[in-house]
Amino acid sequence: MGWLDDLAKQLDRIPIWKRLQQVPSEVDDLKSRVAVLEEKLGGKWPADVCKYCGERAARLLEAGRFATTEGTKMERWSCSACGKTEMRHVKVK
């Protein structure tokens, strides 16, 4: 088993090998953090996320002026990051 010890000592001299040994614990930590964030979102997107570019830069411009007969209202959102505008159907409570 002496050659395995020698190999382990040689690998410990390589900086990237030390870094690779830390990766599994970091991945586990990131998985738990993502799970907490997904639970907070509850499967829904935050309202200010732009559907085109993904930035949290969308702002509500108009709401309710475009009422529909299906029990929804129309909202107009504009993104300051990409400049696109979208219309969203929102259920009226």
pLDDT digits (tens, 9 = 90+) for 24-51: 999 999 999 999 988 887 877 788 899 8
Contacts of 74 (CB under 8 A, 6+ apart): 65, 66, 67, 68, 87, 88, 89, 90
Q: Give Dmax (Cα) for the chain.
A: 80
Same domain, 32 and 6: yes
pTM over 0.85: no
Residue 47 within any structural domain of the chain: no
Residue 27 within any structural domain of the chain: yes
Instruction: Kindly tell me if the per-residue pLDDT of 3 is higher than 80.
Output: yes
Residue span of the structural domain in which 13 resides: 2-41
pLDDT over 70 for what percent of the chain? 94
pLDDT confidence band for 14 (50 / 70 / 90): confident
Number of domains in the chain: 2
Residue 51 within any structural domain of the chain: no
Residue 53 within any structural domain of the chain: no
